[in-house]
Structure 1
Amino acid sequence: MSSTSAPRLSVVIATYNRLPLITRLLWQLAGQTLPPEQFEVVVVDDGSKEPTREPLQALALPYTLRVEVQQNAGAAAARHRGVMAARGDVVLVTDDDMQVAPDFLERHLAHHPEGSRTVVLGRIRPDPSIGDMPLFERWYAYLNNRMAEELSTPGARARGVHLFTGNVSFPRADYVGVGGFDKSLGQSEDVELGVRLEKAGCAFVFARDAYVLHGSDHVSFERWLKRAHRYGMFDTQVARKHPDVRDVNPWRLLFQTNPLTRPLLAATLVAPDASRVLTRAVMHAANAADKLGLEKAAFAGTSVVYGMEYLRGARGEAGGWTGIAREVARYLQGRGE
């Protein structure tokens, strides 16, 4: 379907080697209660190995679909390209492995009256099949649920650090006004964007009812560890950009975690390579607890493992003890908190 008038809402989805999943999502968007002339979908293929544009454009969808293709440049660059190509006043960003309810778009738009400057943080709920996934992926779903419960409590305040690209909408003008995603960041580009939008005066709202179902095809423990490592690296870069926002500083873990786990985190800093054996031992214990049905203990152990690898990444980015001392001092001296 094509349209000459600009839609009210643009849905932006970056995709990479997930043709069946993005196809499923596009069909779910075809069944929205929001009339199809009021929204468009912009898909950006970030250098998939299999052709994406032709199969997607061949779908008989009731809304306007545009497919952009680029060489692999990362999720931040792909999403930025999609937002810049979007024609709607409001942009909604989600991921290619999400599923949505029929009223998903309508619920997001309800929080964007004309002229408002609202960033809507939708809930990310785990797909029911998450129970079949490895412990570390179920732990990730547990964190999403915990954050949703915290933001749903009376008086809770949604902030820029809560922005995740799995389910968020914002005025396109504000996105452009703050410069969009920082494409130099390989992780945490969403949180960093949220910080800048908050500083620019946008209001943040948590919309529990505008939810997505998040499945997962991540089954490799080694890849999960590498992702934790990268978050530690790039969160260090984000903290340097925003020294006044303590919640993005990776060294907060040393002060906010359970005191019983701090020796393990310290071991990671003192002997990052030698302590890898310890990291794997903790994960082995967490998996053993999981098999015994001790979910709380299993999640606690997984959190420790993630924190150890995360701080390895932060340590490497800090560049040794002098750098670590500087980054910790930045956390302790953080302004505006």
Structure 2
Amino acid sequence: MTPSDASTPRLSVVVATYNRLPLITRLLGQLAQQTLPPERYEVVVVDDGSKEPVKAPLDALGESLPYALRVEVQANAGAAAARHRGVLAARGDIVLVTDDDMQVEKDFLERHLAHHPEGSRHVVLGRIRPDPSIGDMPLFERWYAYLNHRMAEELSTPGARAHGNHLYTGNVSFHREDYVGVGGFDKSLGQSEDVELGVRLEKAGCAFVFASDAHVLHGSDHVSFERWLKRANRYGMFDTHVARKHPDVRGVNPWRLLFETNPLARPLLAATVVAPEATRVLTGAVMSAAKAADKLGLEKAAFAGTSVVYGMEYLRGARNEAGGWTGIAREVVRYLQGGGNR
């Protein structure tokens, strides 16, 4: 169905994709099975410069879909730019952002809409559950799934509150007007653009809601440990930018790791800050120990080791971005003088 065939939808699903035609095709098929009437939603896919363009095959697929599908194409500019383009192209009052490697149940869209009662300004964080095949993935990917599970359990506790720095783009919905009102994703950020957007939405008066029932299944095609380390480094770098934009929010300051991490891990993190290059061998040793623990079935120890490895590389990135000891001291003071532990 083409966009002109449908009346204005209530909900727009926005998905950025890059070199994942089979996965985005799978997701579009699952979105065609929704209990929400197809005239009430649309899907906007933004191809972020895939090596093999997806527009032609997706346009052909769109002819058989019950909902309106729009495919936007741009030169590779990163996920933040792609999602931003998708939200601006969306026609729905509510925008739901998810990833191309997610899988959804038939009532997924209805459940999200149920958390947006009339007159509310909610940002709804849906749960991310691991695909059953996650057990076949590398340790570092299973660690990510563990972190998602732990956060979901914490936010599901009676009295717990979600905040802006909890925002993730794998499964979130919000009012398009609120998104545009705060300026959308900061496209200058190579990582953590989701958290930074969440902080601005909360400051603008949006209420964050965690919705365990509006869940997605997340698999992964990430198998490179080196790329995982590079991503950790980039998060440390860009979280430094986010902390400078929001010095009043402690929860986005990368140097929180030195104060909030398990005390047993702090000497390793501190050593990384003091001697970032000399401790790379130590980082490798910790990861080897984590993998050994994993093979012995000691999952808790394996995840703890993986967390330390991530933190060490993350702080290397933060240290590099701080630009020396004067910069590090400035960032640490910024953390200590920040607001609540959000």
Q: Give your verdict on TM over 0.5.
A: yes
- The correspondence for 1:51, drawn from 50, 53, 57, is 53
Partner of 1:26: 28
Find the aligned partners of 2:164 and 2:273 in 1 and give their Cα distance: 29
Deviation at 1:314, TM superposition (A): 0.2
Partner of 2:8: 6
Deviation at 1:262, TM superposition (A): 1.0
- The correspondence for 1:175, drawn from 173, 179, 187, is 179
Task: Give the TM-score normalised by the residue count of structure 2.
Answer: 0.98
Find the aligned partners of 1:336 and 1:291 in 2 and give their Cα distance: 39
Mapped pair 1:140 → 2:138: no
**What are the Cα deviations for residues 289-324 of structure 1, in whole angstroms up to 9, with x where unaligned?**
000000000000000000000000000000011000
Partner of 1:79: 83
Partner of 1:329: 333
Aligned residue type for 1:152? S
> Alignment partner of 1:204: what SS?
strand
Partner of 2:120: 116
Mapped pair 1:107 → 2:111: yes
User: Do 2:47 and 2:53's aligned partners in 1 also have CA atoms closer than 8 Å?
Assistant: no
**What are the Cα deviations for residues 242-265 of structure 1, in whole angstroms up to 9, with x where unaligned?**
000000000000000111111111
Deviation at 1:209, TM superposition (A): 0.4
Aligned residue type for 1:100? V
> Alignment partner of 1:154: what SS?
coil
Find the aligned partners of 1:91 and 1:116 in 2 and give their Cα distance: 14
**Any gaps of 5 or more consecutive residues in structure 1?**
none
Give aligned-pair identity as a percent.
87
> Alignment partner of 2:238: what SS?
helix
The alignment of Structure 1 onto Structure 2 pairs a total of residues equal to: 337
Partner of 2:37: 35
Task: Give the TM-score normalised by the residue count of structure 1.
Answer: 0.99
User: Do 2:6 and 2:39's aligned partners in 1 also have CA atoms closer than 8 Å?
Assistant: no
Mapped pair 1:295 → 2:299: yes
Find the aligned partners of 2:176 and 2:265 in 1 and give their Cα distance: 42
> Alignment partner of 2:264: what SS?
helix
Find the aligned partners of 2:339 and 2:236 in 1 and give their Cα distance: 21
Partner of 1:246: 250
**What are the Cα deviations for residues 22-62 of structure 1, in whole angstroms up to 9, with x where unaligned?**
00000000000000000000000000000200101111111
Aligned residue type for 1:56? L
Partner of 2:277: 273
Find the aligned partners of 1:4 and 1:106 in 2 and give their Cα distance: 19
**What are the Cα deviations for residues 45-100 of structure 1, in whole angstroms up to 9, with x where unaligned?**
00000020010111111100000000000000000000000000000000000000
**What are the Cα deviations for residues 149-179 of structure 1, in whole angstroms up to 9, with x where unaligned?**
0000000001111110000000000000000
Pair 1:336–1:265, CA change in 2 (3 A) = closer
> Alignment partner of 2:71: what SS?
strand
Deviation at 1:4, TM superposition (A): 4.3
- The correspondence for 1:217, drawn from 216, 221, 246, is 221
User: Do 2:287 and 2:305's aligned partners in 1 also have CA atoms closer than 8 Å?
Assistant: yes
- The correspondence for 1:232, drawn from 225, 231, 236, is 236
Find the aligned partners of 2:31 and 2:91 in 1 and give their Cα distance: 17
Find the aligned partners of 2:210 and 2:337 in 1 and give their Cα distance: 29
Mapped pair 1:197 → 2:201: yes
> Alignment partner of 2:65: what SS?
coil
> Alignment partner of 1:93: what SS?
strand
- Deviating above 4 A after TM superposition, structure 1's stretches of 4 or more consecutive aligned residues are none
Find the aligned partners of 1:261 and 1:30 in 2 and give their Cα distance: 47
User: Do 2:6 and 2:68's aligned partners in 1 also have CA atoms closer than 8 Å?
Assistant: no
Find the aligned partners of 1:100 and 1:126 in 2 and give their Cα distance: 12
Find the aligned partners of 1:89 and 1:19 in 2 and give their Cα distance: 28
Partner of 2:68: 64
